[in-house]
Structure 1
Amino acid sequence: MTTDLSHFRFVAKALPNQGARPRELARTMPAHPLSYMELPYDPEYTLYNLRLTPEKLDTATDDEMYWAVRTNVIFRHTGELPIEISGSDSEALLNKVFTRSVSKVKPGRCSYQFACYHDGGMITDGVLLRLSQDRFWMAQADGDLFSWYKAHAEGLDVKIHDPNVWVSQIQGPRSLDLLAAVLDGPMPDPFRYFDCAEVSIAGQTCWISRSGFTNELGWEVYMLPDTDIPAIGDKIMEAGAAFGILLTGTPVFRARRIEAGLLNAGSDFGAETTPFEAGLGGFVEFDDRDFVGRKALEAADKSCRTWGMRVTGGVAQLGRVMTIDGEEVGRVCSSGYSPYQGCGVCIVRMDVPAQGSGTKVEVLCADGSTQSGELCTLPMYDADRLIPRGKLVDVPTNPIAAE
């Protein structure tokens, strides 16, 4: 067996301030306009959508970040890239590009979407916001959809551009209480799971959505150019102080999104993976649209090969490190440690569909040891995703806070 290096990331460290203005990074690099908040915490950045996103902060340990999002509230500046698609044919273009109908999405609503190549392989995914009848933002994960839109827009009345919008996530069981505290006016009504709305925070217009990458209660804020973005961020942090808000980096998402079965583009699926293999077949709609990749997906094997896995006594290495009776049987796509479950957690893709939930394997771990792993369904708990919908209050005991 060999260690897979395909998903290793390079990181860049912010230079010591040395008297420079604290917001200099945001002015000189493709960094989030609120990155000045991160600079005091020895940040390490990686590129995501050609934007710098904090891979590491010393505000807390990985476990403390995990418990913060499960029991309280966190603030995370992300690298999601909203691309705007507008014009009278915008819906027609998106119905051609995405595997799931956009016509069903009403203004003020969001929709999980992904695009495929002609052979059925996946490009990337994200959250589509329908701002009005003929105006959309697709807040995408890492990857290139801009060129894909342009390639399929010939002859259509549509404008495709980067609106220079930046996204932050506020997640955790107290996140909606914090939202009510920072809004200049009342809460949007309704503001259901996957709703979006234009609001004002600190006198600045912005958009918010009931979504996030944790499967906890949460919302995202979309900050517009030509507004005072630091005023929005500072207001959230100031009001959040009363809630014990924690500024976080990537580790806050890692184990929690794995437990939730939220896949990461580029590691959990890619150009060689069909939506069915990734367990996302439910988001492929064979309706009356002729979307890109439809013929290939109609002919494709509909079996799922993507599962969760719990590892006793270690955190799995990435790559083809799973064996049964000494034979490699699949790939560990993502891995981390769940303080809540007390074990390593993974998203894996098996070589054959028959090896599903309940399959037991041997796994090479990051410390060099070999441990036992068992495949499971995703999500690993909250199977009906009631927590992010606000229909289940499930705040576990945080042993760190009790110490």
Structure 2
Amino acid sequence: MNSKLQYTRFVVKAFPSRGDRPRELTRTMAAHPLSFQELPYDPEYTLYNKRLTPESLNHMTDDDMYWAVRTGVILRHTGELPIEISGPDAEKLLNRVFTRDISKVKPGRCSYQFACYHDGGMINDGVLLRLACDRFWMAQADGELFAWYKAHAVGLDVRIHDPNVWISQIQGPRSLEFLRVVLDGKYPESFKYFDCATVTIAEQTVVISRSGFSNELGWEIYLSPEIDFERLGAHLLKMGEAFDMPLTAIPVFRARRIEAGLLSAGCDFDQTTTPYAAGLAAFVDLDKSDFIGRKALLAAPKDCVTWGMRVDGSVASLGRGIRINDKLVGRVCSSTWSPYLECGVAIVRMDKAEQGPDARVTVDCIDERSHSAVLCRMPFYDEKREIPRGKLVAIPERK
């Protein structure tokens, strides 16, 4: 790659529209219905599922956002894309496409899912919500799945469509306390980790879930096109004042998801990566009836080659820059600075399975120097993931 491109940042800026001519390319850059809340903070946007999501807001630094989600509660408008799969054969289609047994996901529950190609390479992942026996939303990461559903639905009584639903996230140790305040009625009878429920907020009926990409305590709100977005958004901000709840951008979760070992589609895995290589063996059910990629996964190596990495004093550059004895041995997939661990953190993919936790390496870093680093298991801490379950409630002090 040309060095000028490697060190150039490309973003989308919001400007007032002038003139009355149609702008056909706006369909490739759809704005979240609450994006207007971000405009006072000079947002810089990136594209995620052809949806605009803020890469930066000028009222907070990356570290400010990180500590806000670790110690309080934050609001973020995201680019995840819910696709609806419904009808008598909805479960059958999803069992064909995904590697886990969908029959085990009961109505009112969510489930982490991913799809594979026939050769076992991964396509995309996301959180599946079972809204009813015959109705699902798959909130997918950046990438393609819609055409994959369509291609494998031949002969099935199923409807696949984009319901034009948008997601906002409320995350942090005070997030469930905030939920109790914003609800019109009672707190859901069941709202455990990976539950979903229908509630009323600001007289708007919405679906909420408890999954999150921050690995903090938190919940998500699904905004359907028939609701009054501005009324709901104003209510969230107004009630959030008592919690000092800021509006945040992508950096709020970048370090936190790496610390937690939450993989990002297209970054930490791609079509060349099997679930085993990605460390996701627990989410492959080879005992269920045939699914796409099962035959290849049965024969695939079962070794994990995806690990965390702690970097001394810097942030690792993305790409193939990990060395042992001056020999390239792996790739940096995601990387940033951890304000909590006070070191660089990364998700890496190694060439060989024996290059695993506790291996000492050197890595190319963003300061254009090589730094010492060590491979580790993920998550970097909170191994039992008790924080998002609300079982570990100690709030860290800002460093």
Measured against the shorter chain, the TM-score band is over 0.9
Q: Distance in 2 between matches of 1:199 and 1:165?
A: 16
Equivalent residue for 2:137?
137
Equivalent residue for 1:301?
301
Equivalent residue for 2:320?
320
Q: Distance in 2 between matches of 1:17 and 1:252?
A: 29
- With over 3 angstroms needed to count, the CA separation of the structure-2 counterparts of 1:237 and 1:164, relative to structure 1, is same
Q: Distance in 2 between matches of 1:3 and 1:190?
A: 53
**In the TM superposition, what whole-angstrom CA distance separates every residue of 1:68-112 from its partner, at most 9, and x where no partner exists?**
000001101000000000000000000000001110000000000
Equivalent residue for 2:247?
247
Letter of the 2:270 counterpart: G
Equivalent residue for 1:333?
333
- With over 3 angstroms needed to count, the CA separation of the structure-2 counterparts of 1:160 and 1:58, relative to structure 1, is same
Equivalent residue for 1:374?
374
- With over 3 angstroms needed to count, the CA separation of the structure-2 counterparts of 1:322 and 1:293, relative to structure 1, is same
Contact 2:172–2:217 (CA<8 Å) still a contact in 1? yes
- With over 3 angstroms needed to count, the CA separation of the structure-2 counterparts of 1:28 and 1:381, relative to structure 1, is closer
Contact 1:182–1:202 (CA<8 Å) still a contact in 2? yes
Q: Distance in 1 between matches of 2:338 and 2:29?
A: 33
Pairwise mapping of residues 94-133 of structure 1 onto structure 2 (< 5 A)? 94-133=94-133
Letter of the 1:238 counterpart: K
| Other structure's SS at 1:126 match | strand
Letter of the 1:198 counterpart: T
Equivalent residue for 1:87?
87
**In the TM superposition, what whole-angstrom CA distance separates every residue of 1:36-69 from its partner, at most 9, and x where no partner exists?**
0100101011111011111111120000100000
- With over 3 angstroms needed to count, the CA separation of the structure-2 counterparts of 1:5 and 1:33, relative to structure 1, is same
Q: CA deviation at 1:189?
A: 1.0
**In the TM superposition, what whole-angstrom CA distance separates every residue of 1:7-41 from its partner, at most 9, and x where no partner exists?**
987310112699xxxxxxx9995110000010010
| Other structure's SS at 1:388 match | helix
Q: Percent identity?
A: 66
Q: Distance in 1 between matches of 2:8 and 2:310?
A: 22
| Other structure's SS at 2:216 match | coil
- With over 3 angstroms needed to count, the CA separation of the structure-2 counterparts of 1:140 and 1:150, relative to structure 1, is same
Q: Distance in 2 between matches of 1:349 and 1:2?
A: 24
Equivalent residue for 1:52?
52
Contact 1:73–1:243 (CA<8 Å) still a contact in 2? yes
Equivalent residue for 1:204?
204
- With over 3 angstroms needed to count, the CA separation of the structure-2 counterparts of 1:392 and 1:54, relative to structure 1, is same
Equivalent residue for 2:38?
38
The alignment of Structure 1 onto Structure 2 pairs a total of residues equal to 392
Q: CA deviation at 1:234?
A: 1.4
Moved more, 46-55 or 112-121: 46-55
- With over 3 angstroms needed to count, the CA separation of the structure-2 counterparts of 1:153 and 1:9, relative to structure 1, is farther
**In the TM superposition, what whole-angstrom CA distance separates every residue of 1:134-181 from its partner, at most 9, and x where no partner exists?**
000000001110000000000100000000000011000000011100
Equivalent residue for 1:21?
none
Letter of the 2:123 counterpart: I
Letter of the 1:345 counterpart: V
Letter of the 2:102 counterpart: V
Q: Distance in 2 between matches of 1:312 and 1:9?
A: 25
Letter of the 2:207 counterpart: W
Letter of the 1:291 counterpart: F
Q: Distance in 2 between matches of 1:70 and 1:51?
A: 26
Equivalent residue for 1:155?
155
Q: Distance in 2 between matches of 1:383 and 1:363?
A: 25
Q: CA deviation at 1:381?
A: 0.4
Q: Distance in 2 between matches of 1:216 and 1:4?
A: 37
Contact 1:11–1:44 (CA<8 Å) still a contact in 2? yes
**In the TM superposition, what whole-angstrom CA distance separates every residue of 1:377-401 from its partner, at most 9, and x where no partner exists?**
00000000001001111310014xx
Pairwise mapping of residues 185-264 of structure 1 onto structure 2 (< 5 A)? 185-264=185-264
| Other structure's SS at 1:67 match | helix
Q: Distance in 2 between matches of 1:114 and 1:178?
A: 31
Q: Distance in 2 between matches of 1:383 and 1:92?
A: 34
Q: CA deviation at 1:5?
A: 7.4
| Other structure's SS at 2:102 match | coil
| Other structure's SS at 2:291 match | coil
Equivalent residue for 2:14?
14
Q: Distance in 2 between matches of 1:68 and 1:27?
A: 33
Q: Distance in 2 between matches of 1:6 and 1:121?
A: 27
Letter of the 2:141 counterpart: A
Q: Distance in 2 between matches of 1:281 and 1:272?
A: 16
Letter of the 2:228 counterpart: D
Contact 2:28–2:51 (CA<8 Å) still a contact in 1? no
| Other structure's SS at 1:76 match | strand
| Other structure's SS at 1:246 match | coil
Q: CA deviation at 1:288?
A: 3.1
Letter of the 1:154 counterpart: V
Pairwise mapping of residues 358-369 of structure 1 onto structure 2 (< 5 A)? 358-369=358-369
Equivalent residue for 1:71?
71
Q: CA deviation at 1:226?
A: 1.4
Q: Distance in 1 between matches of 2:138 and 2:198?
A: 16
Letter of the 2:161 counterpart: H
Contact 2:29–2:50 (CA<8 Å) still a contact in 1? no
- With over 3 angstroms needed to count, the CA separation of the structure-2 counterparts of 1:8 and 1:273, relative to structure 1, is farther
| Other structure's SS at 2:193 match | coil
Q: CA deviation at 1:229?
A: 1.4
Aligned: 1:164 with 2:164: yes
Equivalent residue for 1:344?
344
Q: Distance in 2 between matches of 1:4 and 1:299?
A: 43
| Other structure's SS at 1:184 match | coil
Unpaired runs of at least 5, structure 2:
19-25
What is the RMSD computed on CA atoms of the aligned residues?
2.0
